[in-house]
Amino acid sequence: MSPQESTESTTPAPGEGGHRWPLWEVFVRSSRGLSHVHAGSLHAPDAAMALRNARDLYTRRNEGVSIWVVPSDAIAASDPDAKGAFFESPQGKDYRHATYYTKSEGVKHL
Amino acid sequence: MTQSLGDASASATRILPSSSPRSQARDGALAAGAPPGNALRPEDIALAAQQGAAKPGEDVANYALRLGDDALILAQRLAHWISRAPELEEDVALGNIALDQLGHARSFLTYAGSAWGKTEDELAYFRREPEFRSAHLFEQPNGDFAATIARQFIVANYQFPLYRALVNSSDPLLAAIAAKAVKEVDYHRDHSTQWVLRLAGGTEESRRRMIAGLKLMWPFVGELFEDDALTARLGDAGVVPSSLKAEFDRATAEVLDEAELDVSAYPMATGGGRQGRHSEHLGFVLAELQVLAREFPGASW
């Protein structure tokens, strides 16, 4: 490596177990009136930089009017292995949908 | 006026929500011809020049050439960071800033070139080093991340008040280019400010590097605010460089004070970039920038 190259755009390689920025989850609102939707995740040293990185990474093509960032470890997630116990119970329980019921005779304004 | 210059066929890809009736109406409007946001693009300027609607005088063209060269050389420098920044996220941040600067360069050079029957590419790729009019700051090597942030901090605090004032230019196209650029440069200012504060207030090592970066870059501040015969002749069409110095001093001092950094002792370099006298660095930048276009004239991909 020539001396010129060695002074150009250099970033010291992080050592073993070197410092890493924490992970953040990014939520982007695509336009007024819609809700924030999970767009992805990124690394940033703090919340202020996470917002800026999110702007650079997830709104480059006009996707958003508002951004939320949340530390990834602040999110409690359901266990994918417990999918059966968690999410299969409602199957076949049609009576939980309003469309299951027929309108009684004589009821107005329904 | 920007609206009438629209050219829908060249509009960039944009992700639009596609399900609601409202967004379908918007898609319809897009198909009918208005580029989203009505941002002024270099293609619009080239079209206006072709139609004879925009042709700058010699002085305005030379002024646009200075601003365009500043942005072009900085874009080339910053692009070198892609894949080399401390984190992937900073690769993208610096890459975005580089692309913003490249966009400004394309607009300014397209406009300047229309005075001489030259395209932006002819100006970027086929001028020799002494024909470039960029200030020395922009060609300074990237150094480490802190040195690049120091350069960004100076550039953004110079370009922001410059473009904010240029919005009121008596030249409608310079004003239109500045109106688009000022919002982007405002973000560059924020990006560099955040990093100056964090590097200065981070670890002993990051503070040492921030101080070293400012010491490297600060001597090139002086040249940015030098008036000359061209800026005097421009009158209401341009911005007198020295008139921006007070705002630059105020805005940078605010951040540097908070970061407990002192740049008052650094001497000023002699400059000369506006007359085409450059440091040893520009030739290498241009070699990399121009080699493909010169090796394969007319190449496209």
Q: Is the pLDDT of residue A104 over 70?
A: yes
| A20 Cα to chain B: minimum distance (Å) | 9
**Structure-token pair, residue B81:** 């960071």
Q: What is the pLDDT of residues B88-117, one digit of tens each?
A: 899 999 999 999 999 999 999 999 999 999
Q: How far apart are CA B53 and CA A56, in angstroms?
A: 35
> Which residue on chain B is closest to A60 by alpha carbon?
B96
CB contact at 8 A, A40 and A24: no
Which residues of B are less than 8 Å from A25 in CB distance?
Answer: none
Per-residue tens of pLDDT for chain B, all 301 residues: 334 443 433 333 333 334 444 443 334 333 334 444 567 888 888 888 888 777 899 999 999 999 999 999 999 999 999 999 988 899 999 999 999 999 999 999 999 999 999 999 999 999 999 999 999 999 999 999 999 999 999 999 999 999 999 999 999 999 999 999 999 999 999 999 999 999 999 999 999 999 999 999 999 999 999 999 999 999 999 999 999 999 999 999 999 999 999 999 999 999 999 999 999 999 999 999 999 999 998 888 7
CATH match of A20-100 with 3.30.70.580: no
Q: pLDDT tens digits, residue range B31-54?
A: 334 444 567 888 888 888 888 777
**What pLDDT does residue A6 have?**
43
Domains of chain B and CATH, by start: 40-295 (1.20.1260.10)
Read off the pLDDT band of A102 (50, 70, 90).
confident
Domain boundaries, chain A: 20-100
Please identify which residue in the block is written with the tokens 């919340």: A47
Residue type, B243: S
Residue of chain A minimizing CA distance to B37: A62
Instruction: Please give the residue of chain A at the shortest CA–CA distance from B194.
Output: A49
ipTM above 0.90, yes or no: no
So what's the pLDDT on residue B264? 93
Within an 8 Å CB–CB cutoff, is residue A21 touching chain B? yes
Task: Tell me if chain A has a CB within 8 Å of the CB of B142.
Answer: yes
User: Which of B86, B187, B191 is facing A11, going by the closest CB pair?
Assistant: B86
**Under 8 Å between Cβ of A69 and A54:** yes
Q: Does A28 touch chain B (CB under 8 A)?
A: no
Q: Does B91 touch chain A (CB under 8 A)?
A: no
- Chain A partners of B92 at a C-beta cutoff of 8 Å? 53, 56-57
Q: Which residues in chain B (40-69) have CB-CB distances under 8 A to chain A?
A: none
Q: Report the C-alpha gap between B110 and B281 in whole angstroms.
A: 25
Helix (H) or strand (E) holding A67: strand A66-71
* Chains A & B: contacts with CB separation below 8 Å: 60
Beta-ladder partners of A71: A24
Residues of A in contact with B14 (CB under 8 A): 61-62
Least Cα distance to B207 among B195, B216, B219 occurs for B195
**Identity of residue B53:** A
Q: Which two tokens stand for residue B89?
A: 């996220």
Q: What is the mean pLDDT of residues A6-27?
A: 70
Distances (CA, A) of B267 to B49, B217, B218: 43, 11, 8
How many C-beta atoms surround the C-beta of residue B234 within 10 A?
20
